[in-house]
Chain A
Amino acid sequence: MSTPTTFWRLAGMSYTQYVTRAATALRNGLKEPAKTQAMRNEALSYNSATWAGGKAGSKKPVQVLSEAGL
């Protein structure tokens, strides 16, 4: 892959990270009661486990998008 030209790729973000970050910025622009309701749309939580050779590794909790896929 040739060197990226967009600023977010150069900063190490993937496209989905960039897009969801932009969505957060949009939600932050809302006024108060709508804002907390919209922020609820962002919450995520799950456990990720990497498998190798048929054996599961330890479960890592993921609460924020930046922790995913590590």
Chain B
Amino acid sequence: MAQAGAARGMATEKQIFNQIQSTKNIKKITSSMKMVSAAKLKGDETRLELAKPFNEWTNALCGKPVHLDDLENITYEELPQKTLIVPITSDKGLCGGVNSFISRSVRDAIGKINAQGKECDVVIIGDKGRSQMSRSFPEKILRTATDIQAPGNFNLAAALSAELTAAGAMNYDAVMIVYNSYVNAAVYHQYYKVIKPMAVEGEGESMVEYEFEPDVKSEIMGDLYEYMLTSQIYYCFMDGAAAEQSSRMTAMENASKNAGEMIDTLTLQYNRARQARITTELIEIISGASALEG
């Protein structure tokens, strides 16, 4: 009977039934979240496809992004004395490992950079990164930009680079963006990019090679650096958004699959409990009947 089962510490039939119902609800929620993510991923992929050629010119000035596949082999020796690290993370959760990879990479980078006697500070984009990194190195954080309204656009990138400038980006020797890069719906990688301002010799030297306004080379280089930084933030943000969406899709699919497996095991348990109950009821009836006869 139910009381005997509960007294022995086993889950009763009613409890298992409730568990099955709530797991079924969770499975419905996660599979609908997966479909929403798949739809949003399409939009993010399109935006990323447009951002790629838009940002192509910066690769000639910035060097290739470095793949953060094995943190042990990354030394950060090419970084100059003062670096501003900009990790790009998501605001919403339930997106798999995207944010924890970034946090781990930044923590590792800060340790190695400080060990080399160089300085670094952090401006965090995204709420999940803020909550994870504020536990490890709160004193290094200069600014955070959270609750970003999706989808991003160039205006957002311009605003974020204005935040970086306000945090002092022009006084650093380089800006290092750490971001997730979308490969396909199942795969994403972590990269970091180093963006350095162009060196100009001579103040007030005018631009003779091309007719340009402004005419002063140092001014042109300053404007170019500003624009390059904004364009890079734009591309890395688009990349990170697509990676986050694909990771969320995978995470929700795994959650639905696990929920389905749980439902199967619980259903078997439930049937066993139900049959045990019916058997004990039958035994009671039969023994009661034979007691009356005898």
A residues whose Cβ falls under 8 Å from a Cβ of B: 1-2, 4-6, 9, 14-17, 19-20, 23, 41-51, 53-56, 59, 62, 65, 68-70
Asked whether B82 is an interface residue with its Cβ less than 8 Å from the other chain, the reply is no
The reply to whether B227 and A68 form a contact with Cβ atoms under 8 Å apart is no
**Within 8 Å CB of B222, what residues of A?**
1, 15
Which of B69-77, B160-168, B285-293 contacts its partner?
B160-168
**Bound-complex Cα distance A19 to B294 (A):** 101
**Within 8 Å CB of B141, what residues of A?**
51, 54, 56
Asked whether B134 is an interface residue with its Cβ less than 8 Å from the other chain, the reply is yes
Which of B16-24, B149-157, B249-257 contacts its partner?
B149-157
**Within 8 Å CB of A44, what residues of B?**
149, 152-153, 155-156, 159
The reply to whether A42 and B149 form a contact with Cβ atoms under 8 Å apart is no
The reply to whether A65 and B153 form a contact with Cβ atoms under 8 Å apart is no
Q: A1-B222, A6-B214, A14-B165 are in contact. Are A62 and B159 (CB under 8 A)?
A: yes
The reply to whether B146 and A49 form a contact with Cβ atoms under 8 Å apart is yes
Asked whether B111 is an interface residue with its Cβ less than 8 Å from the other chain, the reply is no
**Bound-complex Cα distance A23 to B153 (A):** 12
B residues whose Cβ falls under 8 Å from a Cβ of A: 134, 138-139, 141-149, 152-156, 158-167, 203-204, 213-216, 218-219, 222-223, 226-227, 230
**Bound-complex Cα distance A50 to B222 (A):** 25
Distance between B145 CB and nearest chain A CB, rounded to angstroms: 5
**Within 8 Å CB of A17, what residues of B?**
158, 162
A-B pairs under 8 A by CB, number: 110
**Within 8 Å CB of A50, what residues of B?**
142-143, 167
**Within 8 Å CB of B138, what residues of A?**
51, 54-55
The reply to whether B145 and A48 form a contact with Cβ atoms under 8 Å apart is yes
The reply to whether B156 and A16 form a contact with Cβ atoms under 8 Å apart is no
Distance between A7 CB and nearest chain B CB, rounded to angstroms: 9
**Within 8 Å CB of B146, what residues of A?**
46-47, 49, 59
Given B149, B154, B216, B227, which contacts A46 in the complex, CB threshold below 8 Å?
Answer: B149
The reply to whether B162 and A15 form a contact with Cβ atoms under 8 Å apart is no
The reply to whether B214 and A4 form a contact with Cβ atoms under 8 Å apart is yes
Given B148, B165, B223, which contacts A69 in the complex, CB threshold below 8 Å?
Answer: B165
The reply to whether B156 and A49 form a contact with Cβ atoms under 8 Å apart is no
Given B145, B166, B213, B227, which contacts A47 in the complex, CB threshold below 8 Å?
Answer: B145
Which residue of chain A lies nearest to B213 when distances are taken between CB atoms in the complex? A6
